[in-house]
Structure 1
């Protein structure tokens, strides 16, 4: 099914809400969802939409089907535009990351509240001149504070302990960082490192989407231990609980 990228006509009393995820979280297994291909001015993207009573839920697998697109080649503008065109006013994103801060070991959850951008070569704005003009957005508060607050308030009900703040460093990928790079990122104030938060965060802000995010650590960043090893045990349950929390928080915040 193809959906043209136009403003979504509301048929429900509640607004659509979106979840973006990637590594380790590829769908919402507990909910029946339909695949929809959305045409946008920036290309086509695939989303999953809930059926029946869950038709307000939109799930976007940022890496595409079967995790087929590396971080530096994701069509971030098409993804965020698709969510906006379908009417999503509130969006939560999950990011698999490596831990830089030793107080945030693997399996930690962090409601990130700031970022450092070390990406390059990505299409990072909708305001690139021409018909879209030029606009300089303020990212003094990168994330939607009301959605972050709702998420943190509800987290204990889902057995999740979320650290209420941390700085996400976004690198280009797809390679992992070197030990020297990780030492530098630590000195700059980075807590966790990943490859996909930028430009998702800033594109959502450009379209006035209430956007918040949780990073979940799956490894120590390079150089902290002799060898990088990735957590597997418990990751499936963590992902399920996090998705359940996301759905509840989004519905509460968008009322």
Structure 2
């Protein structure tokens, strides 16, 4: 059987890959428990691609309750070595308005209380991974090059700030994040990226900007609604199938 060429983790508003053909459903169990849902494995442009909905296919899991360890280990167990994380985010700085796609290169973790390492259990060997560059450089480069080949607009770089959720942030929190150097804000970027590093997986983030973060847009009094988020995610994702095809081995 052909290897898994790419594993994709979908965020809010992205619960399946519509272009997957000959889909089989896998229900892996891991040493860390059950992942968010079934892993759908099918063919895209002649290659085997796996997809997992991070929040569950019915969006039933809030960010702090996701079993990030089980999700990544499940993908590793079926043979995935390259993971593209799709993250629905808010935009903080000027380049990152609604419906923008971005491939961030840095990360700040504001989450708390999440199991953030595979070294949690007593007696487990402690791993100290280098995390100065939180996304795999080579895979990031492939994503950026694939977007260019597919003629999909993509912002190269940016700092993702990971917050606890599930509530959205206050204006003061976003102002602090801007001072800290964050360009994007989301709720699921960590501990996923760090766990991928501990597991030796190549990992990159494709951030889909669904809205301006609180106080960041041209209308400081804008109220963010779920429908606006979903509409913007759908619009920003129109080029995603072409980008994924370009990202697969040619």
Provide TM-score, normalisation by structure 1.
0.88
> What is the distance in 2 between the residues matched to 1:40 and 1:56?
21
Partner of 1:194: 186
SS of the residue 1:43 aligns to: coil
CA gap 1:110/1:53 in 2 versus in 1, 3 angstroms: closer
Q: Deviation per CA, 1:80-112, whole angstroms, max 9, x where unpaired?
A: 110111111111111111111122211111111
Conservation of the 8 A alpha-carbon contact between 2:13 and 2:230: no
Aligned to 1:26: 15
Matched, 1:38 2:36: no
Question: Which shows bigger deviation, 184-193 or 21-30?
Answer: 21-30
Partner Cα separation in structure 2 for residue 130 and residue 119 of structure 1: 23
Change (3 A) 1:237 1:178: closer
Pairwise mapping of residues 95-114 of structure 1 onto structure 2 (< 5 A)? 95-114=87-106
Residues 55 and 146 (structure 1 numbering): CA distance in 2 closer, same or farther, change over 3 Å? Answer: closer
Kindly state the Cα deviation for residue 187 of structure 1 after the two structures are TM-superposed.
0.2
C-alpha change, 1:23 and 1:202, in structure 2 (3 Å) is same
Q: Please, what is the CA RMSD of the aligned residues?
A: 2.0
SS of residue paired to 1:124: coil
SS state of the match for residue 148, structure 1? helix
How far did 1:62 drift? Answer: 0.4
Which stretches in structure 1 are left out of the alignment for 5+ residues? 1-10
Task: Give the SS at the match of 1:133.
Answer: coil
Q: Runs ≥4 in structure 1, deviation > 6 angstroms? A: none
Give the match's secondary structure for 2:206: strand
Distance apart, 1:190 and its partner CA: 0.4
Check 1:20–1:81 CA distance in 2 against 1; reply closer, same or farther (3 A cut).
same
TM-score scaled by length of structure 2? 0.89
Deviation at 1:157, TM superposition (A): 3.2
Q: What residue number does 1:228 align with?
A: 223
Q: Where do 5+ consecutive residues of structure 2 fail to align?
A: none
What is the CA distance between 1:215 and its match in structure 2?
Answer: 0.7
1:19·1:246 contact (CA, 8 Å) conserved in 2? no
Partner of 1:239: helix, strand, or coil? Answer: helix
Q: For each residue in 1:4-31, what CA deviation from the matched residue of structure 2 results, as whole angstroms up to 9, or x when unmatched?
A: xxxxxxx22x444200111121101122
Higher mean C-alpha displacement, 213-222 vs 26-35: 26-35
3-state SS of 2:16 partner? coil
Q: Which residues in structure 2 correspond to 1:55-94 (within 5 Å)? A: 56-94=48-86
Q: Which of 128, 135, 150 in structure 2 is aligned with 1:143?
A: 135
Secondary structure at 2:18 match in 1 = coil
Change (3 A) 1:185 1:234: closer
Aligned length: 241
